[in-house]
Structure 1
Amino acid sequence: MSHWQQKIRSGFNRLLNMDDRLRDGKDNLALQYLAPLTKGYLPWSRFAMRPSGMVKILNDMVINQRFTVVECGAGLTTVYVASLMRQQDKGHLYSLEHDADWIAVVRDLLVQRGLESYVTFIHAPLVPSDLSLEGADWYDTAAIAPVIADQKIDLLVVDGPPAYDEARRYARYPAAPYFQKNFSDNYAVVLDDINRFGEQHVLTEWRRHIPGLQSKRFVNDGGVAICSNQSGFTVG
């Protein structure tokens, strides 16, 4: 390796390290913001939404008054959203999840904290979908439709189905087109893992097919994209 190649690689590595420090700093601060909402230990994993992403969701709920919420993929976000709803004394969360065993785990976390009344779980196995890109399975709409029915959705949080490999990289695309008919007059959509190519493409396709959808990406600060049909107040 030449001297200049070494310098370029060294500079690139320094930039990556700076990004990591920025991301970790944002997440550490976010955990302090989140602490008052929950009691007891919560089982964090690398699959959970980053704390700074959760803070943006909660900020949007409070600032822009979004309290009919649908999430794709249950987890820690379920607990935090329900905790905020109890604190605000309003709102309801509809949580789609394909894994019945995981629903039981998350439901138990809610029960331990007295939050179960704020959440309706929808067990929707992954099946072929007419809305999918490249044939990726999505949640069974036969399970979703009777529960959501004519609900007006203020906020849609898309953190599922799993989309971490090549075959499923566009698995989250159907969410916005499917729920579009249920969106309220002023709504937002949050897409997690926006650092990945698959989610970036999903976001591009959403904006291409859903009129008036605006978006802002927070790659280091939360790892999410926030889309809305109106400008609203900033949550970043």
Structure 2
Amino acid sequence: MVNEIDSVLECGSGLSTVFLEVMKRETLLSKSLTLEHSVQWWTHVKSVLAKHQLGDESIALCPLAGNWFDLNPLKPQHKGFYDLILIDSPPSRTSPEGRYPALAKLKDFIRSGTWIILDDFNREHEQNIVQSWLREYPIALIEKVSIDTGLAVMRWI
């Protein structure tokens, strides 16, 4: 999987955002985009990136519109397909099924072969979301990873 990944879109920022920027600096990744809905967290992550002299142009402040990110703030350079989509937001406190719209809302970023990782798969709501996606979209569940809060690793067919 690693050799196939050149671009990453992540929903929700944090340590992974810093890691993605390090990968870009080291030319291990050509493109990333992070969607963040919280102004406070967006500001914090941008300051961490600046502290480590990493770029912050790939983290987009996209407030929630209903239960999903408002994608209107995205810039032209953010458009296009991504090899990997990491879904770790919106938080469950906004809506238990808040991550369900991800595939429908991100369809313009997905192509055949795109990897999709859903975090917090140990939660019942996330398991239900994956079951719905498997029925509704051309994806395959490749692996369930039982670390921390769990991951569902899927691939768009």
TM-score (norm 1): 0.60
Q: Are 1:82 and 1:92, in contact at CA under 8 Å, matched by a contact in 2?
A: no
Bigger Cα displacement from structure 2, 215-224 vs 70-79: 215-224
Distance 2:119 2:77 in 1: 24
Distance apart, 1:221 and its partner CA: 6.6
Q: Are 1:176 and 1:189, in contact at CA under 8 Å, matched by a contact in 2?
A: no
**For residue 81 of structure 1, what is the aligned residue in structure 2?**
20
Q: Deviations over 1:198-227 (max 9, x none)?
A: 111111111111114333211237721111
Q: Deviations over 1:91-141 (max 9, x none)?
A: 121110111121111111111222216x5121111122xxxxxxxx11113
Give unpaired runs (5+ residues) of structure 1. 1-59, 129-136, 231-236
**Structure of larger gyration radius:** 1
Q: Which has the higher helix share?
A: 1
The answer on 1:138 being equivalent to 2:68 is: yes
Distance 2:140 2:43 in 1: 35
- Of 173, 182, 188, the residue aligned with 2:100 is 173
Q: Which has the higher strand share?
A: 2
Q: Are 2:116 and 2:156, in contact at CA under 8 Å, matched by a contact in 1?
A: no
Deviating runs (4+, > 6 A) in structure 1? none
Q: Are 1:177 and 1:210, in contact at CA under 8 Å, matched by a contact in 2?
A: no
- Of 18, 36, 49, the residue aligned with 1:97 is 36
**For residue 64 of structure 2, what is the aligned residue in structure 1?**
126
Write out aligned runs for 1:1-236 (5 A).
Answer: 60=1, 62-63=2-3, 65-116=4-55, 119-128=57-66, 137-144=67-74, 148-149=78-79, 151-163=80-92, 165=93, 168-220=95-147, 223-229=150-156
Distance apart, 1:172 and its partner CA: 0.8
Q: What's the RMSD between the two structures over aligned residues? A: 2.2
Number of residue pairs aligned between Structure 1 and Structure 2? 157
The alpha-carbon distance between structure 1 residues 108 and 148, as it changes in their structure 2 partners (threshold 3 A), is same
The alpha-carbon distance between structure 1 residues 177 and 83, as it changes in their structure 2 partners (threshold 3 A), is same
The alpha-carbon distance between structure 1 residues 147 and 89, as it changes in their structure 2 partners (threshold 3 A), is closer
Q: Deviations over 1:62-112 (max 9, x none)?
A: 33x212211110111101122123223441211101111211111111112
**Amino acid across the alignment from 1:214:** L
SS in 1 for 2:58: strand
SS in 1 for 2:90: coil
Distance 1:127 1:141 in 2: 9
The alpha-carbon distance between structure 1 residues 212 and 224, as it changes in their structure 2 partners (threshold 3 A), is closer
SS in 2 for 1:168: coil
Give unpaired runs (5+ residues) of structure 2. none
Identity, in percent, stands at 28
